[in-house]
Amino acid sequence: MAGFEILDPTVEPRRQPLTYVPRPDSLRGKRIGLVENTKFNSDKLLVKIGEILKQDYGAAETRMWRKHNAGVPAHAEIIEEAKRTVDVVVAGIGD
Give the residues lining the site for other proteins (CB under 8 A). Answer: 1, 3-11, 13-14, 16, 38, 40, 68-73
* Amino acid identity, position 23: R
Which residue, 53 or 74, has its beta carbon nearer to other proteins? Answer: 74
DSSP secondary-structure letter at 12?
P
Which residue, 30 or 67, has its beta carbon nearer to other proteins? Answer: 67
Q: How far is the CB of 8 from other proteins (least distance, A)?
A: 4
Which residue, 10 or 55, has its beta carbon nearer to other proteins? Answer: 10
> Residue 65: CB partners within 8 Å, gap ≥ 6?
33, 34, 35, 36, 74, 78, 81, 82
CA-to-CA dists, residue 93 to 3, 27, 37, 39, 80, angstroms:
51, 22, 6, 7, 21
Q: How far is the CB of 48 from other proteins (least distance, A)?
A: 17
Q: How far is the CB of 15 from other proteins (least distance, A)?
A: 10
